[in-house]
Structure 1
């Protein structure tokens, strides 16, 4: 248990009050939740506020390219079995957003925080986490994000000397390389469907040899550690070999992997896997992701996919009968403006599905689908797409800002 909550200094109280006021003004002006601007104002007044607000909490940090928002939500639900939780549940995962979230956690025991990959080391220094969950690393926002090997190296350096228990995916070589600098690692066999960012050894640059679930460098011997937790079908295997059933309302293998990591994190705090997994069943959607909505008489399932690894996982959710699909891609600041990643996505997986293409970069996507030999229709608006697509529930897949655009149109 973290130290008892201490009263905030006058400066810190002023910073929190000013931040909340700024957030309220932002919300009133219709400019979003206000969490980012509120956090920026608060940190400007007290640069040490993040450390002060987290001092009484047992903190979990969650970072990854994909799945961190969902895993954060699952961990938060599980840890509520042990006490009150404060969390940045809406995904504002840079220091300003985290600060805003923690300002509401004066009475909480746990802080469960999603952290942007680039800020993990810095936030970890400020909040002194008890546990850090590392899920995966793959290419994302190519115009401004660090190359994955460089990011893994930054994590590796940042984890050195931390007392936190690191819960890490044994199936991702980049995660293993990053986590191996820690003195206390819990390895989880969570799987890695996307492997195109991890064919070379992060330790020496040699070629990784893969066989079934194992991987190892043929040059230096760096390889997959032995996991103590594992996803096995629809069950979580704990360190004692017991199998606990997963009954999520969230779809797909990736979310079962997220639940496995969440169970391992919960165990660090003494929450048994059966209780943790039972509590995770209450999660039906995460910031609109996986929501099924009705709009203009059509049923749509909203799916977020931001990069090649995310699109691959999302395609696995719509395997089966060829349901109609909407694909929407933007390239705004929050997405990254480089759309070359579209060429790394295997869009032949969508063959046979009636497809409508939307978004700012719909023509970029149309060219990619044309090369893949997949039939599609380019549409200017969502209503036009709904008119063109045949009956049946529509799978709407979009990257970050395109996903937010869809949510606004359908009133979600």
Structure 2
């Protein structure tokens, strides 16, 4: 992995080789990409392997509750203007998956790494990143993730004194509080639709005031920092006040916000905004998200939404009524087994859309839609739901494992 000046130790090389062999065996057995099991084996053989693999790379870490896979992909595309990139593009974002990804990038200059929020501090310690992008923090996987303020505290303590340049969303109070312990922060006005996790001040517990797009705590004076980069409509404003057009194939305001943060990260490595944003146009879909697929003679657009903030952003993407919508929710371990978050989503935004409901927890979702006074049909599976939908393109919104199930069924 490292250049000739700093070769991997024999033990590290053995760990990489063994990890790749196990991953290949897992793929051959039809058990997925094998990246996680391969990384676990490699780290067992050399617990310092992640740090060794990162030594020769300029590392960018990307963490958030929503948008990290897409932003990781956008940053990777932008940085390819400056050299080869290795990235965990498939979203295996815990240490084993990250180790696997880096082990596959022997000629890379940059490592662009998506990191699960709960592992950010540890991965930052191991990889000595040059840059860390922090996009947002909201409630997610209520059965296994601590409340958002505790995650923010974990970030704040873990990043204190970090040498990395932190690119952080100035519009999310939790992110600002977490990033404020870092000596070198670039603030981006990326916006925040979902505000229900930041009504109290993360610093003192006081009530946040939110006049317009601004925010501050009336009690301790904690307030929104002045951003040097900003999303403004269809443009990114850079620190010099120049406006650069965003041309994406990915839909929605949230992805423009991701592009703004990605342009700020690319600039840290000397890639100009115009070049970075032009390269981001190459990204059509991210791990199947936003893909339009043909199934049973119909066009289905596949949209991933894992938590209340994600569902809110996704509702803003879908075609207007009477476009049919299929909703699918599971509650397996990768999703979080607690579905009480469904009550935090404003399903009245679907009024006028014919709705079909599928997934392991379709009855939980049906109760929620009933209370929201929505018209819907409960269906056995995607096949039946598509048959029941009126004509036109169908929007399909699913949470994490439900999305994977759908992709397998519709051949994406």
RMSD across aligned C-alpha pairs, in angstroms?
0.9
Partner of 2:341: 341
Give the Cα separation in 2 of the matches to 1:108 and 1:388: 49
Partner of 1:27: 27
Give the Cα separation in 2 of the matches to 1:356 and 1:91: 28
Partner of 1:85: 85
Partner of 2:332: 332
The one-character-per-residue Cα deviations of 1:13-70 (angstroms, maximum 9, x if unpaired) are 1100100011011101111000000000000000000000010000000000000000
* Pair 1:236 & 2:230 matched: no
Give the Cα separation in 2 of the matches to 1:4 and 1:267: 29
* Pair 1:139 & 2:139 matched: yes
Contact 1:4 1:56 in 2 (8 A): no
Give the Cα separation in 2 of the matches to 1:338 and 1:323: 29
CA shift, 1:319, in A, is 4.9
The one-character-per-residue Cα deviations of 1:304-351 (angstroms, maximum 9, x if unpaired) are 000000000000001523210000000000000000000000000001
Unaligned 5+ residue runs, structure 1?
Answer: none
Contact 1:327 1:397 in 2 (8 A): yes
Partner of 1:377: 377
Give the Cα separation in 1 of the matches to 2:390 and 2:95: 45
Partner of 2:124: 124
Equivalences for 1:350-389 in 2 at 5 Å? 350-389=350-389
Equivalences for 1:3-402 in 2 at 5 Å? 6-402=6-402
Larger deviation, residues 190-199 vs 3-12: 3-12
Give the Cα separation in 2 of the matches to 1:71 and 1:322: 31
Give the Cα separation in 2 of the matches to 1:162 and 1:387: 54
Unaligned 5+ residue runs, structure 2?
Answer: none
Give the Cα separation in 2 of the matches to 1:393 and 1:290: 13
The one-character-per-residue Cα deviations of 1:212-243 (angstroms, maximum 9, x if unpaired) are 11000000000000000000000000000000
Give the Cα separation in 2 of the matches to 1:50 and 1:240: 37
Contact 1:304 1:398 in 2 (8 A): yes
Give the Cα separation in 2 of the matches to 1:47 and 1:236: 41
Indicate the SS of the match to 1:318.
Answer: coil
CA shift, 1:114, in A, is 0.1
Contact 1:3 1:57 in 2 (8 A): no
> What is the TM-score of this pair, normalised by structure 1?
0.99
Give the Cα separation in 2 of the matches to 1:111 and 1:187: 22
Indicate the SS of the match to 1:126.
Answer: helix
Indicate the SS of the match to 2:283.
Answer: coil
Matched pairs, number: 411
Indicate the SS of the match to 2:215.
Answer: strand
The one-character-per-residue Cα deviations of 1:165-221 (angstroms, maximum 9, x if unpaired) are 000000000000000000000000000000000000000000000011100000000
Indicate the SS of the match to 2:27.
Answer: helix
Indicate the SS of the match to 1:219.
Answer: coil
Contact 1:5 1:106 in 2 (8 A): no
Contact 1:23 1:33 in 2 (8 A): yes
